[in-house]
Amino acid sequence: MFGLNLPLSRNYILPPIVLSVIAILLMALDLRDMLEFHRQLISEGEFWRILSSQYIHTNWTHLGLNLIGILFIWILHAEHTSTSRYFTHIILLGIWTGVGIWLFCPDIKVYTGLSGLLHGIIVWGALKDIQTKEPTGVLLFLGIAGKLAWEQYAGPSAEVGNLINSRVAIESHLIGAIGGVVLAIPLFKEKFGLAKN
């Protein structure tokens, strides 16, 4: 019988719990109208929506799917990060995804959800796996790349869209994943000795 060696240290478990609690509280307090990415209102000066929209959801199913994503990432990659790095990543990737949607996705008028930045976090984790020679790193990275390619080819899932009461913003997945690659650049500077002494 095998046992899971879960990363249960406080340093590993606290950040995803805090992120989950924040997302749950924002949903319970029904702050979507105030915090969602709303292109017209952002253009009128409500710039906080670029970031705040990343942490709110259309409904409880949408939130539940992203909480599963947080759990999955914790199981896979908690030991790669620290509390400060975790929160730095979720803020930087939140800004990156929001700004990317604003600049490159003019057809997206309203957006909510963690999925864009979560794609960035899992891509960073896969690249960290590769840097540390974890055997599953390449497979995970290729799996995410294949998922993103399929989404861009086939379009958003209508079934998931019905569950979350919104079109799945596959563009945010790609933008977030690119952000994860950008965040991983220093890992490979270290790996190949390109960092300045």
Task: Kindly report, residue by residue over 95-126, the tens digit of the pLDDT.
Answer: 999 999 999 999 999 999 999 999 999 999 99
Provide mean pLDDT across the span 147-175: 95
pLDDT, position 135: 87
Q: How confident is the model at residue 194 (pLDDT cuts 50, 70, 90)?
A: low
**Domain edges within the chain:** 10-191
How far apart are the C-alpha atoms of 179 and 92, rounded to whole Å?
9
pLDDT, position 191: 64
Provide mean pLDDT across the span 59-65: 97
Task: Kindly report, residue by residue over 124-153, the tens digit of the pLDDT.
Answer: 999 999 999 998 999 999 999 999 999 999
pLDDT, position 63: 98
Given a contact cutoff of 8 angstroms between Cβ atoms, the answer to whether 122 and 143 are in contact is no
% of the chain exceeding 70 in pLDDT: 94
Provide the whole-model pTM.
0.92
Please tell us whether the domain made up of 10-191 is placed in CATH 1.20.1540.10. yes
Task: Kindly report, residue by residue over 25-47, the tens digit of the pLDDT.
Answer: 999 999 999 999 999 999 999 99
pLDDT, position 190: 67
Does position 196 have pLDDT exceeding 70, yes or no? no
How far apart are the C-alpha atoms of 167 and 88, rounded to whole Å?
28
How far apart are the C-alpha atoms of 193 and 1, rounded to whole Å?
42
Q: How confident is the model at residue 4 (pLDDT cuts 50, 70, 90)?
A: low
Given a contact cutoff of 8 angstroms between Cβ atoms, the answer to whether 144 and 179 are in contact is no
How far apart are the C-alpha atoms of 105 and 110, rounded to whole Å?
11
Q: Which residues contact 46 (CB under 8 A, 6 or more apart)?
A: 38
pLDDT, position 26: 97
Instruction: Using the Cα atoms of residue 178, residue 73, residue 56 and residue 166 in order, give the sign of their dihedral.
Output: positive
pLDDT, position 6: 81
Q: How confident is the model at residue 2 (pLDDT cuts 50, 70, 90)?
A: very low
